[in-house]
Amino acid sequence: MDKDLVSIIKDAASQYFRTVVEIRRDLHAHPELSFKESRTSERVKEFLSQLDIPFSEGWAGYGIVASITGHHDGPIVMLRADMDALPIQEENDLPYRSVHDGVMHACGHDVHTSSLLGVAAILQHNREHLKGVVKLIFQPGEEKLPGGASIMIREGLMEPVSPQWILGQHVYPSLPAGHVGFRKGLYMASSDEIYITVKGKGGHAATPHLCIDPILIASRLVVGLQELVSRNIDPLSPAVLTIGRIYSNGGATNIIPDTVQLEGTLRAMDETWRFRAHQLIRDFVDHTCKASGATAEINIVIGYPSLQNNDQVTSMCQNAAIRFLGKDKVHELPRRMSSEDFAFYTLEAPGTFYRLGTGWVDEKLNYPVHSNRFNIDESSLETGMGLMAYLTLSNLSDR
């Protein structure tokens, strides 16, 4: 019985494959930065209209929420795709290379959006099997704080009825096309941005005793802040503190500048420690600066929370993926310290964020996400839309 559903969906996915490839190439050629996804949003609406799928628009700017209502009663579930691109100059030589200088779909959100449109087509044509309502979330601004997800939730996305579960998929060049990966529990880290200005007193490099040297103090901060990770958090709980930028507007071989700026990121999986760490950073920076007669300005911008995949929903999807793709194609994912605004949804409803293998078998062709040469083996689009449609229908089917 279930095997029938597998072949129904596989046939549908291969039927829509060419269309979805075309949409993906069109989106890839016309990438738009976070919260500026107007053309992408138009393309999504156009395709949904062709399929006669009702939608509401204007979510967090260009976001769209479409609803596919089954022929039978059942729960509400959600499927999410993000739509924005990155400020990167594409270096790929492709017929569908980005036409926008300095903007590129280097994180595969073109793949997520076009796959979800494929899922829309498959589900819309199989409504007679569907129990419940599937909401398709086309989300803007994943790459930019505060994240489109948090805004859509504030705008009432999960009201009045919160979904029974929500799924998101993300491209993953570390697995070949046709393969997917899942992980239960904590999967991705929180991320917060740290901005510090050390204010000292500039002067001649040969008379340091008459100055308050912000470069020396900033160096102490870079080294000392590492104690937060090495000597404060439980070693079994992963955390990262990176100072990624340090600069001064003045200074030279013979000049001590007035100020030094530091910028960095704090990532963690323990939400309680995360906020305690913010205070520890403030205290350490403050006291270290004071000890040398300098002052500090500290700004910590709260980013995305850590991402917790729900155990039951993840198992349910993993088992369905094995039925759909075969056991050898379904993998266990390692944790990662990058972050995703999908985490906001998982604070509201049980969900799972899984990875779609998009790599080529020839590893030389694979570049990581956010690289200016990132691209995918497009056969993964067929897997991506087929699998997501199957994960949904196999759990909400009358069969």
Binding-site residues sit at 107, 109, 143, 170, 370
Q: Is the Cβ–Cβ distance between 157 and 72 less than 8 Å?
A: no
Q: Where are the alpha helices (DSSP H) in 30-147?
A: 38-50, 109-124
Cα 64 to Cα 42, 59, 169: the distances in Å are 10, 6, 17
Contact 39, 88 (CB under 8 A): no
Specify which residues 308 forms β-bridges with.
186
Residue placing its CB nearer to Ni ion in the complex, 113 or 394: 113
Name the residue nearer to Ni ion (CB basis): 107 or 300: 107
Structure tokens at 183: 């992980």
Who's near 176: CB < 8 A, 6+ residues apart? 357, 359, 360, 361, 377
Nearest approach, Cβ of 73 to Ni ion (angstroms)? Answer: 35
Cβ proximity to Ni ion, 76 vs 107, nearer residue: 107
Known binding-site residues for Mn(2+) equal 107, 109, 143, 170, 370
Min. distance of Cβ 166 from Ni ion in angstroms? 16
What is the C-alpha separation between 199 and 218, in angstroms, rounded? 10
Q: Which of 104, 253, 271 is nearest to 190 (CA)?
A: 271
CB of 107 to Ni ion, least distance (A): 4
- The answer to whether residues 399 and 26 touch, using CB atoms and an 8 Å cutoff, is no
Fill in the amino acid letter for 57.
Answer: E
**Of 308, 384, 376, 375, which is closest to residue 347 (Cα–Cα)?**
308
Minimum gap (Å) between residue 183 Cβ and Ni ion: 16
Q: Which residues bind Ni ion (CB under 5 A)?
A: 107
- Taking the least distance from each CB to Ni ion, the nearer of 81 and 107 is 107
| Shortest separation between residue 170's beta carbon and Ni ion, angstroms | 6
Q: List phi, psi (to 5°) of 339.
A: -135, 165
Give the residue with the Cβ less far from Ni ion, 64 or 107: 107
Q: Minimal distance in Å, beta carbon 116 to Ni ion?
A: 14
Residue closer to Ni ion (CB basis): 130 or 167: 167
| Chain residue whose CB lies nearest Ni ion | 107
Spatial contact of 152 and 210, defined as CB atoms under 8 Å apart: no
